[in-house]
Amino acid sequence: MLEMTKDTAAAGETKVSLKNLQLSFPDQSGGVKQIYQGLDLEIEKGSFTVLLGPSGCGKSTLLNIMDGLLQPNSADEILIDGEDLRDRPDLSRQMAYVFQGPRLLKWKTLAENAEFGLRGLGVQPRDRWPELMERYFAAVGLSEYMHHYPSQVSGGMQQRAAIVRAWVNEPQILLMDEPFSHLDEITAAEMRRILVDLWRAEEVHRTVVFVTHDISEAAQLATDIVMLTPAPSSICFRRKVDLPWPRHIESDEVMDLEKELRKAFAERAGVRF
Amino acid sequence: MERFKEYSAQIASLIIILLGWEISALIMDTRALPPASESFADLVQLIRTGDAFGPLGSTLFRTTCGFALGFVMGCSYGIAAVLSRTFDDLSKWLLQIAMFTPTLILIFLFLVIFGRTSFTVILLIGLVVLPVVGTYIRDSLRDFDEELDGMAASYKAPLRQRVFEMYLPFLIPSMLAAGRIGFTLSWKVGFLAEIFGFSNGLGWQIRTTYQIYDVAKLLAWLSLFILTLLVIEQMMRFAERRVVKW
Amino acid sequence: MNWSVTPKSLLLNALPVAAAVLVWWAATTYILVQPRIYPTPQGVFTELVRIFKNEGPIGEPYTHAAATLWRLTIAWGGGFVAATLLGVLAGRKKWVFDFFSYPVWIAMAVPSVVWVYIFLVVFGIEEMVPILALMILLAAPVFLGTAEGVRSTPKELLEMCDSYKIGTRQRLFHFYLPYIAPYMVANARVSFAYGIRIVLIAEVIGLPNGVGILVGYWSDSLYMAPIVAWGLLLMATGMIVDYCIFAPLQRRIRREAEPRPASKRQPSGNSRLKRA
Ligand SMILES: Nc1ncnc2c1ncn2[C@@H]1O[C@H](COP(=O)(O)OP(=O)(O)OP(=O)(O)O)[C@@H](O)[C@H]1O
Ligand SMILES: [Mg+2]
């Protein structure tokens, strides 16, 4: 119980705030496909927020907007720490993105890949790089493989390296887009454990925005769950989770949470199981 | 032993060619087909006396310069065509024309119009190599994974970093492959230009030996031509393996 | 290749070509006035008309052109068939591939004239000589391409054939052929384009007829306009055959060959040209 209060201690402050987001893409038939029609979303500082939604509802797109990679058609505000990202593009330097696939440069070793991100974002002083890389490669169990090329390690290891590439920047916001969805279940479970351990080990928790369409994954990780409807998407369900870690998949609490999420999905997002 | 087994079929074919040549030469016993041993004796003598190096050097020099010219232009073309749709459209027909023009016609035209100088041959080689290298580089650059662009944008990698750490390393294997293909082509075009009206180099030697019907010498020069190409190709393959470690 | 042709892109395609012709015209009319060596566009056009009217100094152009095309077709067809058969074998058996790898490499490395020289001294002046030289050069890339195609047939499907006891005939027509068809078309396309570029080289020396002889004759008499004219004609022939026969064929076969894994992309005519 003590642990639980520590993990949710930072609650209260808003880290990211999106208001009245509008976005559409042209579709093949020459029309437009509405992705967001006035979406509002607030993400708390230090929370582990899981965005849950069916495929194609615009979860990745939402992360891209937060990272400044994509401009919405319009938005009343895209605030990071109370400042608008569109006025201060450099705000996105506090964020690091873990993509759906590893997206490593195959001609660089895992360590060099991590360095690529460090050099690009430029938030960590250069003299700390070796120490940071050593620490985080060790944390994900890749110390021995730092100087291997991506082609020499397994898919799970590549994804771990991709997480290190993000984490070495010690970003205030960590954006993760279905990072484990194409891994096998055993590796994925291991990765989730590593991720939660890393996150909890910090004095002040980083804000994590984690996208998934896997309900059980959401139940295992989140302090905040946000559920999206199919496009044009809106938030149909949102709740906080106050369970301690490590969460066992078969524990009653987690099972109940999953059940609740499944029910909400069925009732509010019109998704059937 | 394993290695030997791996190459046994390749070695066997070479031996069969040489043996077939030697035996049929002995059976036919004409000036038209001297035995392999005689040609190789000639080759050894050419190398021993140093007579081989003059023609070899001048052909190699022209080929290398022409190749370098064509390679640089080809790479620039490939990159520009990917960066700009307009440039791609503008160059499309010109490139097709360059690709379909018979090499011999180009050789004749160039030698007469620009005169029989090394410079002409270099220019000619450059022009023939350009479309081949250019399309190769263009097509492989089009295969670049857009997701990596997204990754670089997300990590705010500046243009310099993207060019030197992403696009260039991505291109290196294709550049090496295109270089190998381009060099073989240059070597042949330079040689042809010599055969059709250039008074030094390997091609000219072969033409002369043909005209005085010294077939053994002809084959000796030809072997020199082939051996040089083989050595250069192997060197390039070796470089490919050394550079592309991933 | 991008087949979406819009008026704008067509204009952009044609613009530099038109500009080049204009520059050519201006340069030969005003600066390098020496029509024998620097032919004008009009001069070349006149030569084209003469060729079409079947007028020429050393025999009828039509006869020469026919001889060249005939040689090209025979050499290309023969080389293609032989190399495809050998290529299939080489794709199945590694030692066959290894055995032929040096000879094929040598065949490609030796320029066509040298083949002609060699055959001329061995066989004497014969109609066969340039055909043989061409055949060797054209067969080499086809061999490599076919072997690659056969090797790309997925092993699992072969095992499937084994498990369903599929017969040889059926295997050939319903399994191997569809798999290597795209490679065969790409090979045919590349080797034809290559052949039309080098057929002249094989002809220039020691034969009584063919476009190569004509071009050699004009080159010796330092008269460039007919050379350019023949160059344009051959280029046009190559392009027409490529666009009207091979490109549509390749597109059709590619469509039929789908679905295939996206990563295993079919070779395209152009990308294979590089290897020739
Ligand atoms: N650049 C684009 N152009 C056109 N349409 C796009 C583009 N990017 C995304 N879309 C469309 O926007 C919608 C949302 O895409 P997004 O990738 O955000 O979905 P997602 O929720 O991440 O799905 P998944 O779970 O499958 O990853 C999809 O229907 C997609 O087709
Ligand atoms: Mg997504």
Contact flag B139-C100 (C-beta cutoff 8 Å) = no
Question: With 50 as the cut, is the pLDDT of residue C68 above it?
Answer: yes
Nearest-CB residue to B100 (from C20, C114, C238):
C238
Match domain C36-254 to its CATH number in 2.30.30.50, 1.10.10.10, 3.40.50.300, 1.10.3720.10: 1.10.3720.10
Give pLDDT tens digits for C188-234. 888 888 888 888 888 887 677 888 888 888 888 888 899 999 999 99
Strand, helix or coil for residue C229: helix
| C-alpha C125 chain-centroid distance | 25
Q: Which amino acid is at B177?
A: A
Interior angle at CA A237, CA A233 and CA A241, nearest 5: 135
Render pLDDT for A166-187 as a digit per residue (tens, 0 to 9): 999 999 999 999 998 888 888 8
Q: How far apart are CA B175 and CA B74, in angstroms?
A: 10
- Per-residue pLDDT of B7-30, as tens digits, reads 788 888 889 988 988 888 888 877
Ligand nearest to the CA of A36: 1
- Identify the DSSP state of B168: H
H/E element holding A234?
A: none
Residues 6+ apart with CB under 8 A from A271: A54, A230, A265
Summarize the confidence of residues A186-197 as an average pLDDT: 88
For residue A149, the chain B residues in CB contact (below 8 A) are 245-246
Q: Is the pLDDT of residue A253 over 80?
A: yes
Q: What is the ipTM of this complex?
A: 0.83
Residue of chain B whose alpha carbon sits nearest to that of A63 = B154
pTM (2 d.p.): 0.83
Nearest CA to ligand 1 atom 2: A25
The residues lining ligand 1, judged by C-beta closer than 6 Å to any ligand atom, are A 25, 35, 53, 55-61, 213, 231
C-alpha of A236 from chain center = 19
Check pLDDT > 70 for residue C266: no
CATH number (domain holding residue A137):
3.40.50.300
Asked if B109 lies within 8 A of C271 by C-beta distance, the reply is no
The domain segmentation of chain B, as residue ranges, is: 34-243
CATH architecture of B34-243: Orthogonal Bundle (1.10)
Q: B2 or A75, which is more confident?
A: A75
Cα separation, A150 vs A105, whole angstroms: 8
Question: Which chains contact C through at least 3 pairs of Cβ atoms less than 8 Å apart?
Answer: B
Mean pLDDT along residues B61-84: 94
Question: Atom 14 of ligand 1 has which residue's CA nearest to it?
Answer: A58
Residues B62/B122, Cβ–Cβ less than 8 Å: yes
| Neighbouring residues of B101: CB distance < 8 A, sequence distance ≥ 6 | C197, C231, C234, C235
Please name which of C190, C192, C193, C243 lies closest in space to residue C5, comparing C-alpha atoms: C243
Closest CA–CA distance from residue A113 to any residue of chain B (Å): 10
**B157 inside 8 A of chain A by CB:** yes
* Among protein residues, the one whose CA lies closest to atom 29 of ligand 1: A56
Suggest the residue from C6, C9, C10, C12 to mutate for an interface test with chain B (most B CBs closer than 10 A).
Answer: C12
Question: C2, C78, C87: which is closest to C268 by C-alpha?
Answer: C2
3-state secondary structure A1-56: CHHHHHHCCCCCCEEEEEEEEEEEEECCCCCEEEEEEEEEEEEECCCEEEEECCCC
- Which of residues C133 and C256 earns the better pLDDT score? C133
Q: How many CB pairs under 8 A join A and B?
A: 54
Q: How far is B133 from chain C (nearest CA, A)?
A: 7
Coil vs helix vs strand at B206: helix
Rg (Cα) of chain C, in Å, rounded? 22
Q: Is residue A38 part of a domain?
A: no
pLDDT above 70 as % of chain B? 98
Would A150 be classed as within a structural domain?
A: yes
pLDDT of C15-35, one tens digit each? 889 999 999 999 888 888 888
Task: Give me the domain span that covers residue A96.
Answer: 46-69+90-228+240-269
In a domain, residue A77? The reply is: no
A151 in contact with B at a CB cutoff of 8 Å? yes
Q: C-alpha distances in angstroms, B236 versus A2, A92, B43, B227?
A: 65, 44, 25, 14
Q: Which of A167, A159, A174, A165 is nearest to A92 (CA)?
A: A174
| Domains identified in chain A, total number | 1
**Would the CB atoms of A120 and B170 count as touching at under 8 Å?**
no
Query: Which residues of chain A does B166 touch, with a Cβ-Cβ cutoff of 8 Å?
Result: 105
**Is B155–A99 a contact, with Cβ atoms under 8 angstroms apart?**
no
Within a domain: residue A55?
A: yes
CB–CB contact C16 B86 (8 Å): no
Given a contact cutoff of 8 angstroms between Cβ atoms, the answer to whether A110 and A142 are in contact is yes
Q: Tell me which chain B residues have a C-beta less than 8 angstroms from the C-beta of C213.
A: none
